[in-house]
Structure 1
Amino acid sequence: MARSYAERRKPGLWSKAGPTPRLMLGSLVIAAVGLFGLTRNDIFGMSFAWPHAALWGAIGWGRVGLSIRPMLILIAFGLIQDVTFHAPFGCFEVVNLLTYAGSTAIASQFDVTSEPLIAIVATVLLFSGAFLLLWLMASTLEDHPVRILPLVASMLTTGALYALIQRVFDLGRRPGELSGQAA
């Protein structure tokens, strides 16, 4: 009996990697995007929206359930975002952790790994909720509604780039699980 292509091919390095190396690589990607975000974000005089990369980790890492390491990393990135955006301490930590909790809740209720429609709808809802929360916090702190267009542009940039690199934020299995234990 002939085996399918998926059965014949050898597992790659990424599929063999456990949650810790995947978490570290995702953290490096977020940090690199964040560092580049500190530079000028205009090309030929046209400004472009920079993504909120920590939300990539919040959504991707939340799909395997609650774990302390991703939460600590999201808190650290939130502190850096607070300093970078001159926000009161705790604002971006709340957004990152609520997005992580939402991703975990959706993943525990639905099969987001093998159902692409659910994964897309969940991701769009999580990004929309995170940016709505950002807008509400910014508007509350400023005592007037802040401009929504820059946030919508950042949300679209964040979502489009996440669609391209989402596999980097897939931890593969729950932290502490051995290979082959994931259901």
Structure 2
Amino acid sequence: MPRSTPRNKKSLWSQTGPTPRLLFGAFAIAAIGVLGLTPREFFGFSVAWPYAALWGAVGWGRVGLSVRPMILLILFGLIQDVTFHAPLGCFVILNLLAYGASAAIADMFDVMNEPLVAILSPVLLFSGAFLLLWLMASTLEDHPVRVLPLFASLLTTGLAYAVLQKIFDLGRRPGELAGQAG
């Protein structure tokens, strides 16, 4: 009878299916979003708050396109539109474009655990999303909006994602077709 060694033990997270992972990630996004509604100052310094819905867009997109993550991203986008007093649909578009781009990159490379792709992909996706956000805001305001607050939020979004990325992994297995895990 083979003995169970620490190497053979699987973590609870690795044994969890895509639906509980999706729900846990959605809860994390909602919790960070609610905390972001409170005053964001630390010893008199304004704190750049991350755009948590982009974590889901980038992380969930790694398994391909699926309806349930898109519904959540639309819901989070509408909440962001209302919270930031943006025209309805701006953040929905932003979240869905980031999600689609993440799915396209995952489909194109299919080696998402390769260090270069695993690091470069989120950097490009977050940078592109924040560039699009700046373009939309500048177009709607009829003048270029300040870049520094968006850049600070880009940094906090990216750094927090680097720490929390496993939460948004829906568990795509090698050889599994895109969209099957979500």
Q: What residue is the counterpart of 1:181 in the other structure?
A: none
CA contact (8 A) 1:26 1:57 kept: yes
Q: What residue is the counterpart of 1:164 in the other structure?
A: 163
Q: What residue is the counterpart of 2:36 in the other structure?
A: 37
Q: What residue is the counterpart of 1:142 in the other structure?
A: 141
Gaps of 5+ in 1: 178-183
Alpha-carbon distance in 2 for matches of 1:29, 1:16: 19
Q: What residue is the counterpart of 2:175 in the other structure?
A: none
1:15: Cα distance to partner?
A: 0.7
Gaps of 5+ in 2: 173-177
Alpha-carbon distance in 2 for matches of 1:76, 1:133: 19
CA contact (8 A) 2:63 2:180 kept: no
Q: Deviations over 1:111-153 (max 9, x none)?
A: 3432011111111100000000000000000000000000000
Alignment coverage as a number of residue pairs: 173
Q: What residue is the counterpart of 2:24 in the other structure?
A: 25
1:12: Cα distance to partner?
A: 1.4
More moved, 136-145 vs 115-124: 115-124
CA, structure 1 residues 154+112, in 2 after alignment: closer, same or farther (shift >3 Å)? Answer: farther
What is the DSSP-based 3-state SS (H/G/I as helix, E as strand, rest coil) of the residue aligned with 2:26? helix
Alpha-carbon distance in 2 for matches of 1:119, 1:9: 25
Alpha-carbon distance in 2 for matches of 1:88, 1:176: 33
Alpha-carbon distance in 2 for matches of 1:21, 1:175: 16
What TM-score, normalized by structure 1, do the two folds share?
0.91
Q: What residue is the counterpart of 1:80 in the other structure?
A: 79
CA contact (8 A) 1:63 1:112 kept: no
Alpha-carbon distance in 1 for matches of 2:56, 2:46: 25
CA, structure 1 residues 162+108, in 2 after alignment: closer, same or farther (shift >3 Å)? Answer: same
What TM-score, normalized by structure 2, do the two folds share?
0.91
